[in-house]
Amino acid sequence: MLEGILFAMFAGVAIGCALGVVFHRNPVHCALLLVGVLLSLAGVFILLHAAFVAALQVIVYAGAIMVLFLFVVMLLNVKGETPLLTPGAAKGFGFLFGLIVATELLWTVLSPGGSEGGPFPAAALPAEFGSPAGLGMLLYTTWLYPFEIVSLLLLVAVVGAVVLAKRKFF
Amino acid sequence: MGTMPMVPLVWYQLLAAILFTIGVVGVLVRRSALVIFMSIELMLNAVNLSLIAFSRQHGGMEGHVFVFFVMAVAAAEVAIGLAILVAIFRNRETASVDDVHLLKG
């Protein structure tokens, strides 16, 4: 019962804030509403017993990445643009395409095969499910090479960001 | 932890589908490149939610590993994307994707 109430609360906040991100005029408000989405998704992750990923979500996403966004908003000093949405036919096609994607996704989720999983299995999860120890055990054994590649990717991204921010290109 | 879970998998997938759709619409209809980046983050998070829900259903932690990688790639993408945005703004004085059309025929 409590789980259902919490899920409804987090889901409602997430969807409301997501709509705000897309349709709000001021980019600073958009960024803060995105923080709302990320935090409520962290709550949903905790409902799914993914405690460590929820902590990562708060620290990495709502902390680091959103600070980066707010810095750039401050740096660029962008005002809310006067036509909020892209003008002309592109807007119509955008909403049409969104409708198509929504139909497709809902069709997939709600089709008989999609909901076959039913309620989550009541069988007890492994003790370390969702803990840093469990994630680390997988990450440093089975997924060691992808992990190293991702660290290389982050290094390249940092160097690239510095180079891009220094020079004049366009 | 031992209680019977109340919310079935489908509800989590529905939430992920709705958030992903909102992100798609945001990318397609907004003009500001910053908000487009935020909408991309929205879509990435929707996929993360679906991965975590499947991981819960499956009982294994591989989904959490995928989410970890998605977060790392998202961080790299945001760093590069925002650096490009700053470079464009510095030279063109605009953050709107409609005003950057050098490649338009």
For residues A80 and A27, the answer to whether their CB atoms sit within 8 Å is yes
Per-residue model confidence as pLDDT tens digits over B10-51: 899 999 999 999 999 999 998 888 999 999 999 999 999 999
Q: Of A21, A69, A79, A153, which to mutate for an interface test with B (greatest number of B Cβ within 10 Å)?
A: A21
Average pLDDT over residues A112-141: 77
Determine if residue A77 is left, alpha or beta; phi over 0 gives left, psi from -120 to 50 gives alpha, anything else beta.
left
Section A37-59 average pLDDT: 94
* pLDDT above 80 for A116: no
Digit-coded pLDDT (tens) for B66-100: 999 999 999 999 999 999 888 888 888 777 877 77
What values do phi and psi take at B32, rounded to 5? Answer: -75, 125
Query: Residue A169: what pLDDT?
Result: 57
Q: What is the pLDDT of residue B2?
A: 46
Q: Which of residues B9 and A123 earns the better pLDDT score?
A: B9
A34 and A19 Cβ atoms separated by less than 8 Å = no
Residue B71 in tokens: 């977060």
Q: CB within 8 A of B33, min separation 6: which ones? A: B85, B88, B95, B96, B97
| Alpha carbons within 13 A on the beta-carbon side of A47 | 27
Indicate the residue type of A89.
A
Residues with Cβ < 8 Å from B88, sequence gap 6 or more? A170, B33, B94, B95, B100
Say if residues A34 and A69 touch (Cβ distance below 8 Å).
Answer: yes
User: Under a CB-based contact definition with an 8 Å cutoff, are residues A161 and B79 in contact?
Assistant: yes
Restricting to A residues 125-154, those with a Cβ less than 8 Å away from any Cβ of B are: 125-126, 129-130, 134-135, 138-139, 143, 146, 150, 153-154
Percent of chain A with pLDDT over 90: 52
What is the CB-side half-sphere exposure of residue B38 using CA atoms within 13 A? 38
Q: Which residue has the higher pLDDT, A164 or B51?
A: B51
Task: Check if the beta carbon of residue A153 is closer than 8 Å to that of residue B76.
Answer: yes
Exposure of B75 by Cβ count < 10 A (0-12 exposed, 13-18 middle, 19+ buried)? buried
pLDDT at A166: 80
Reading phi first (left if > 0) and then psi (alpha if -120 to 50, else beta), residue A83 is in beta
- Give, in order, the Cα–Cα distances in Å from B69 to each of A31, A146, A148, A151, B79: 23, 8, 11, 10, 16
CA–CA gap between residue B100 and residue A40 (Å, rounded) = 35
Select the residue from B1, B4, B9, B88 to test the A interface by mutation, using most A Cβ atoms within 10 A.
B9
